[in-house]
Amino acid sequence: MNITVKTGGFAQEQTDVIAIGVLENPDFYSAPLQNIEQALGGRIREVMNLGDFTGKHKTTSWLYTNGAIAAPRVLLVGLGEYHDLTAEKVREAAGNAARAIRDMGLSTAAIPIPIEATPEMIQAATEGSLLALYQFNEHKTNTDDDDKKKKLESLTFLVENEQIKATIEGAVARGKTIANGTLLARDLSNQPANYLTPTQLAEKAQTVAETAGLDCEIFDKATLEEKGFRTLLAVAQGSVEEPRFIILEYTPDGEGQDTVVLVGKGITFDTGGISLKGGGGMHEMKHDMSGAAAVIGAMQAIGQLKPNVRVIGVIAASENMPSGTAVKPGDVVTSYGGKTIEILNTDAEGRLVLADALGWAAQYNPKGVVDLATLTGAVITCLGHIAAGAMGTDEELMSKVKSAAVKTHERVWELPLWDDYDEGVKSKIADVQNIGDGGAGTIAGGAFLKKFAEGYPWVHLDIAGTAWGMKGSSYIPEGASGYGVRLLVQLVEDW
């Protein structure tokens, strides 16, 4: 969908529908709403007095203009109570409205922007509209599918004068950039594993780097062997698909900027290996590279937004397959940093590839490292599909992550990572074992990773519950959510 900003009123706008936000408090009318109410002869107040539409958040109501204005329809969009109005409420309302307009089969819409609207709200409306309309139809061949035919092609923000137009355009541009990074992450995560191998994921990252002005380096199997990425190679050895290690780098102009490293788990399909998963729901394990997808989507946006901080995106990509060559429970491998790991469960493979990635990150002398991984089913038991589990070693970095999460509504909840939990991942025959000794599975994963995130501030986000299957938001569809892109971009921009 194309989103533009235009100076002018709504009355003569040639569009399929004028959408206008309405607060639940009937005594508050924005200037555009008052003007539409006047043009329609008081019909909005009439509908509200009847109780057919109250302005409740995420509700809509259609009105037909009968020639009173150029547009044949007006869509009333509920924003809820004034004191509850936040950027997230606007994001959800915009997403709900965009879906309603598309599902009516309409292709153009315009929104008069009240003077009270902040740039943050305009950005949120842009994000919500674009994210809500997402569909993954790449592998559908039925051209007669009604859902594929319905497409909202353009959305116009109408502003009163040229003085505020530039501000609104800037907010729209930023919203587009961040939404497009999220859509990219969704596309990557939704791809079936036979269309997105580790090699193909690396090729996608290379393309993103070329378009976003990033530096990109890819390590193939031979290079990984040469450099000593032994835990990544151990996970990959059961598959015919070779692993890849992806490095994306954004460097701002000037000198002396802090370096932040974003690390993504890139298991493009996870069978569990020799510790084979049950068949139910295994098809969803194409999403096990959602951490990698979030890092690639965030790096695309960062390259375009150009914050004043150096950002390195690091992705360890592999399949986890069972075969005669697969790593076995009880095997011991040595990580990139030199620590030995006893593999008690081959289905705890994400932390193995991250061990090498976190070890690699140390060379950048980062001021902060954040990894995202669909690491444990236990985090869903703990937090459901609402928030990611957050653990770390640095209070300041954790505070920054939490702040970014609040601003973007990509929720996180901090779990303890006390030294007491270290006992659970101690091995009898190696430095560390890859599962805990029972209970607190999500924290055990964090305790394991902590052993490899030494020498720098670090936060781990377990996104197994938020990477897909999220419900309740109008701008997050079925399948991949793209969780983490907006959070990471906000974190970097606030740095």
Active site residues: 277, 351
Alpha-carbon separation of residue 76 from 52, 85, 145 (angstroms): 11, 16, 28
Residues paired with 19 in a beta bridge: 75
As a residue count, the chain comes to 495
State the Cα–Cα distance between residues 18 and 230, nearest whole angstrom: 58
Smallest Cα–Cα separation from 349: which of 413, 412, 277? Answer: 277
DSSP string, 150-206: ----EEEEEES-HHHHHHHHHHHHHHHHHHHHHHHHHHHHHS-TTT--HHHHHHHHH
H helices within 191-320, ranges in order? 198-212, 221-227, 230-236, 290-305
Rounded to whole angstroms, the Cα distance separating 235 from 333 reads 10
Nearest Cα neighbor of 378 from 432, 420, 328, 438 is 438
Alpha carbon separation from 462 to 81, 198, 334, 382, 388 (Å, rounded): 34, 21, 24, 11, 5
Cβ atoms of 235 and 347 closer than 8 Å:
no
Amino acid 413 reads: W
Report d(CA 150, CA 282) in Å as an integer: 32
Tokens 């909840």 belong to residue = 413
Q: Is the CB of residue 376 less than 8 Å from the CB of residue 445? A: yes
Using alpha carbons, list the distances in angstroms from residue 7 to 10, 110, 164, 377, 438: 10, 12, 9, 50, 62
Beta strands of 409-467 (E only): which ranges? 412-414, 432-433, 458-462
